[in-house]
């Protein structure tokens, strides 16, 4: 076990303190987070690598859809109003799939927050990921926390100018790459890259790159924690998602208080001493400028870097890890009741330990079953239900559609032989990336025949129509019924569209109008 003298105490004050709130329009106090090391920091590195890799590399993935469709795996084709995602192709009328995914994302966010707190904010939010990336650059150029603080306070010199210019130049390169990667989702990436480089692409592409470059540079490099504190609505909403069984990053003051930098002197004087040595390592590593020892705060994104910092200190002192840990409010309240003898006096760390120094068996520790509660199952059930519904609909959807529009004026025409003719606009939609031959057949309406306008095909009750891949084919069709076959002023019949290969079909029930005198 190491002595407290071997611990380095840091001069760090919480910028966003629960005890001293900043004025709403006060000037920003810069946060200089110290680099942390530990399992949560490693997990954040992994998440950052995966999320940035997905964002920057996805437009370059290829997916063979045949000769009649683009081969970019993920493509939002606004010109042709298509959304391609590997083997899935979404048309505008199928936007409910996107809506379903948004519902799943919302329910999933509720599920994650109610279970393990603001994990989205701490690990996968784009603001968190890009701020982490910008901090990597800042540390590489200017040094870690103390070096950056000294540089910030120092007068402007050639060295400071070079360091600051280098940092901001790299930030701008990252910001441009971020904006550039976004436009590649809307057109063929290799071709668009060449057009952007040669200045031949559409102006909207350059405007998009410029806007996203500016916002990335501003939010990730300059505003940082202010985006989460003042601009993001989720910190205000997430409190409603939490309950006493939700996991959150917690300072366990039932074992940490009273704090002391001179534990031996305090013990010799007969004073109670907790595990917290007030080194402020947890404050120094926090990217939000929060002191987690002040309790739950709006600014805390639960990135858990304070856990890593505190665990490292506990390791050096030879004490148990977990002074700062993920814990539920229920467990915290139970342990606080033990440490305060039911709330009758201040925290006494001797009440939570045995005579041998080990933790008391009465203390409550987290177990996974505590987050497996009805609320969790409701969210999980709803999320799964929406997902299964979307998947079932996707697997069973029809890629052939027929739609019919009856002529409004005139609704019918009486021909010279007394027969009645109605006009229809028939639309055949081929939603596959390959050509098809669609057979349009008329069912019902006894004795009637169809004429395809603009075609030399003879009148009949069925036509074979070639339809290009991923295209809508519009036909003008006249339906004529002899006078002796009329069965009233209004009759119904069916247009049936069949794939000639026999794979899919669709039908539309249409009306046939006739003069009132035929009733």
Is 90 exceeded by the pLDDT of residue 105? yes
How confident is the model over 126-175, as pLDDT tens digits?
999 999 999 999 999 999 999 999 999 999 999 999 999 999 999 999 99
**What are the tokens at 301?**
């994104």
Q: In the predicted model, what is the mean pLDDT of residues 246-255? A: 91
Contacts of 426 (CB under 8 A, 6+ apart): 402, 403, 404, 440, 474, 475, 476, 477, 495
pLDDT band at 26 (very low <50, low <70, confident <90, very high): low
Q: Is the pLDDT of residue 98 over 80?
A: yes
Nearest CA-CA partner of 227 in 113, 139, 128: 128
Question: What is the pLDDT, as a whole number, of residue 518?
Answer: 44
CA distance 134 to 173: 11
pLDDT band at 485 (very low <50, low <70, confident <90, very high): confident
Straight-line distance from the first to the last Cα atom of the chain, in angstroms, rounded to the nearest whole number: 104
Per-residue pLDDT, 141? 95
Poorest-confidence range of 119-128, 265-274, 305-314, 366-375?
A: 265-274
Closest by CA to 291, choosing from 4, 21, 3, is: 21
What is the rounded CA–CA span in Å between residue 203 and residue 264? 70
Distant-in-sequence contacts of 72-81, Cβ < 8 A, 24+ apart: 72/188, 72/189, 74/185, 75/185, 75/186, 75/187, 75/188, 76/185, 76/186, 77/186, 77/187, 78/186, 80/470
Q: State yes or no: pLDDT of 272 exceeds 80.
A: no
pTM of the model: 0.83
Q: Which one-letter DSSP state was computed for residue 450?
A: E
* pLDDT above 50: residue 260: yes
Confidence of residue 516 (pLDDT cuts 50, 70, 90): confident
Report d(CA 484, CA 490) in Å as an integer.
15
Q: Residue 145 has what pLDDT? A: 93
Instruction: Please check the confidence at residue 444 and state whether its pLDDT lies above 70.
Output: yes
> At residue 24, does pLDDT exceed 70?
no
Angular region, 440: left φ>0, alpha ψ -120 to 50, beta rest: beta
Q: Work out the percent of the chain whose per-residue pLDDT is above 90.
A: 59
Q: Look at 163 and 343; give whichever has higher pLDDT.
A: 163
Q: Please state the rounded mean pLDDT for residues 43-53.
A: 95
Read off the tokens for 139: 């540390």
* Residue-wise pLDDT tens digits, 383-413: 999 999 999 999 888 889 999 999 988 889 9
Among 379, 362, 236, 263, CA closest to 317: 263
Higher-pLDDT residue of 297 and 22 is 297
284: CB partners within 8 A, 6+ apart = 10, 12, 33, 34, 145, 309
* H or E element, residue 203: helix 203-216
> Predicted confidence band at 307 (pLDDT cuts at 50, 70, 90)?
very high
Q: What is the pLDDT of residue 1?
A: 52
Choose the weakest-confidence range: 18-22, 32-36, 416-420.
Answer: 18-22
Which pairing describes strands 400-406 and 420-430: parallel, antiparallel, or unpaired?
antiparallel
Length of the chain: 519
pLDDT for position 373: 85
Classify the C-alpha dihedral 14-307-132-229 as positive or negative: negative
pLDDT at 2 over 70: no
pLDDT at 5: 65
Q: How far apart are CA 385 and CA 382, in angstroms?
A: 5
Mean pLDDT (the chain, rounded)? 89
CA distance linking residue 483 with residue 475, whole number of Å: 25
> What integer pLDDT is reported at residue 365 of this predicted model?
85
């Amino acid at each position: 076990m190491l002595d407290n003298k071997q611990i380095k105490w840091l001069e760090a004050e919480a910028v966003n303190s629960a005890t001293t709130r900043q004025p709403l329009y006060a000037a920003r106090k810069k946060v200089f987070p110290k680099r942390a090391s530990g399992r949560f920091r490693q997990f954040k590195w992994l998440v950052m690598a995966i999320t940035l890799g997905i964002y920057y590399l996805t437009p370059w993935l290829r997916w063979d859809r045949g000769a009649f469709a683009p081969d970019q795996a993920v493509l939002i084709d606004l010109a042709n109003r298509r959304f391609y995602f590997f083997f899935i192709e979404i048309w505008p009328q199928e936007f409910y799939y996107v809506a379903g995914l948004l519902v799943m994302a919302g329910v999933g966010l509720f599920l994650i927050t109610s279970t393990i707190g603001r994990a989205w904010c701490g690990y996968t939010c784009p603001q968190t990921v890009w701020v982490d990336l910008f901090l990597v650059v800042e540390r590489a150029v200017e040094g870690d926390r103390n070096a950056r603080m000294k540089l910030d306070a120092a007068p402007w010199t050639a060295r400071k100018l070079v360091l600051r210019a280098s940092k901001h130049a790299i930030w701008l390169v990252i910001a441009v790459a971020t904006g550039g990667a976004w436009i590649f989702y809307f057109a063929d990436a290799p071709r668009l890259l060449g057009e952007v480089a040669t200045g031949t692409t559409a102006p909207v592409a350059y405007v998009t790159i410029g806007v996203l470059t500016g916002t990335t540079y501003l939010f990730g490099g300059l505003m940082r924690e202010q985006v989460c504190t003042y601009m993001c609505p989720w910190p205000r909403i997430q409190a409603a998602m939490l309950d006493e069984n939700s996991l959150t990053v917690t300072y366990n003051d039932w074992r940490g208080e009273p704090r002391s930098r001179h534990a031996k002197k305090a013990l010799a004087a007969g004073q109670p001493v907790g595990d917290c040595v007030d080194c402020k390592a947890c404050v120094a590593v926090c990217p939000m400028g929060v002191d987690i020892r002040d309790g739950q705060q709006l600014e805390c994104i639960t990135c858990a870097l304070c856990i890593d910092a505190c665990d490292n200190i506990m390791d050096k002192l030879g004490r148990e890890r977990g002074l700062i840990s993920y814990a539920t409010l229920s467990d915290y309240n139970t342990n606080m009741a033990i440490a305060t003898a039911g709330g009758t006096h201040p925290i006494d760390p001797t009440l939570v330990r045995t005579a041998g120094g080990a933790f008391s068996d009465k203390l409550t520790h987290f177990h996974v079953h505590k987050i497996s509660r009805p609320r969790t199952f409701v969210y999980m059930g709803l999320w799964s239900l929406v997902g299964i519904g979307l998947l079932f609909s996707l697997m069973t959807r029809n890629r052939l559609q027929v739609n019919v529009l009856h002529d409004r004026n005139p609704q019918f025409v009486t021909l010279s032989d007394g027969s009645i003719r109605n006009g229809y606009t028939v639309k055949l939609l081929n939603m596959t990336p390959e050509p098809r031959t669609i057979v349009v057949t008329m069912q019902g309406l006894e004795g009637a025949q169809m004429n395809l306008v603009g075609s030399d095909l003879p009148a009949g009750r069925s036509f074979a129509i070639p339809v290009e891949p991923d295209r809508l084919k519009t036909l003008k069709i006249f339906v004529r019924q002899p006078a002796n076959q009329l069965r009233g002023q209004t009759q119904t019949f069916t247009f049936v569209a069949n794939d000639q290969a026999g794979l899919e079909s669709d039908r539309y029930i249409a009306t046939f109008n006739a003069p009132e005198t035929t009733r």
